[in-house]
Amino acid sequence: MSNDKGYVEPGQDFQRDTNYIEDRITADGSSGWPVEVGRYRLVVARACPWANRATIVRRLLGLEHAFSMGICGPTHDERSWTFDLDPDGRDPVLGHERLQEAFLARDPQYPRGITVPAMVDVPTRAVVTNDFAQMTLDFSTQWTAHHRAGAPELYPEHLRAEMDEVMQRVFTEVNNGVYRCGFAGSQRAYDRAYTRLFTALDWLAERLADRRFLMGDTITEADVRLFTTLARFDAVYHGHFKCNRQKLSEMPVLWAYARDLFQTPGFGDTIDFPQVKRHYYVVHRDVNPTQVVPQGPDTANWLTPHGREELGGSPFGDGTPPGPVADGEEVPAEHGAGGSVSV
């Protein structure tokens, strides 16, 4: 299962299952899982917005050397994500064919959803945590000894109280809000979800009208969390999830903000548009029974000028952007902005 996991009672709202393995990898090891270079493997899928957060934060902080990354294919069945992108259909480090194997190694009777992102303990090949929200905050706060020189402070202590409020609203109203629209069990539930989503997007547009990023002049975790939904909006959520008051490209402030981030190293270079579309349109058979994947939209507009520099600030402040994408982790050029729309 993906992080789309949840349920809809007939005629009711979509309810997300948020019951994750909440173990943490900590600097002092008090959790039982100490920070240790080379011990863990981050398992993601390019298609998943929740996993996309982890790929972005790992890259921004320069943690590629600290823990490796395995990439599942864009589709999955009812059992779990699979490593079908690897030459022999197995993750080369863990040896698993399915992410489910890592969860069953942890608990042979594991009863819940098999989700990405997941941090897996390489020696035991067992999952440590799939708590996506805490995971990226821990990348910022627990792995600091292994951050690259010039890495941004994505969860600055003096902003945390306000950031937590902003991120909670982004999660409930936007990240989860698009799903609430897409999986609504009745017209009434959909209408409520639609209103909530666009109310929140209007609030975000107002907030971003006079500040370059959500918390001010530099990027933070809050921007990462909003970006992964915005990057999928026109390709998937506008049509597939019926979030169609406007396309993102028709919302001037949010569209410029999203392009600013997309063109920042660490953001757009993690987006694989064909995989995103294939995941949603193929896996969500209840929403798209034919599994036909649309050809559009054209993604070349993601590389057009955004003009957000006029607001001042810079993505990395006094720091520096990350270097080139690690070998083997590149998104194919034809899958990014301006590339082929084929799937």
Which residues belong to the active site? 48, 179
DSSP for residue 173: I
SS3 247: coil
Tokens of 113: 């959803």
Q: Alpha-carbon distance 20 to 71, whole Å?
A: 20
Asked if residues 125 and 101 have their Cβ atoms less than 8 Å apart, the reply is: yes
Apex 312 CA angle, 307 and 318, nearest 5: 120
**Rounded alpha-carbon distances, angstroms, from residue 89 to 73, 95, 276:** 10, 9, 20
Q: Are strands 40-45 and 14-16 parallel, antiparallel or unpaired?
A: unpaired
Asked if residues 118 and 99 have their Cβ atoms less than 8 Å apart, the reply is: yes
Tokens of 2: 């993906």
Q: Which residue has the tokens 């909530």?
A: 196
Could you give the angle at which helices 221-232 and 252-262 cross, rounded to 10 degrees? 110
Is 81 annotated as a binding-site member?
yes
Q: Which residue has the tokens 């202590």?
A: 157
Asked if residues 72 and 99 have their Cβ atoms less than 8 Å apart, the reply is: yes
Tokens of 184: 């609504």
DSSP for residue 121: E
* Binding-site residue ranges: 81
* Binding-site residue ranges for glutathione: 81
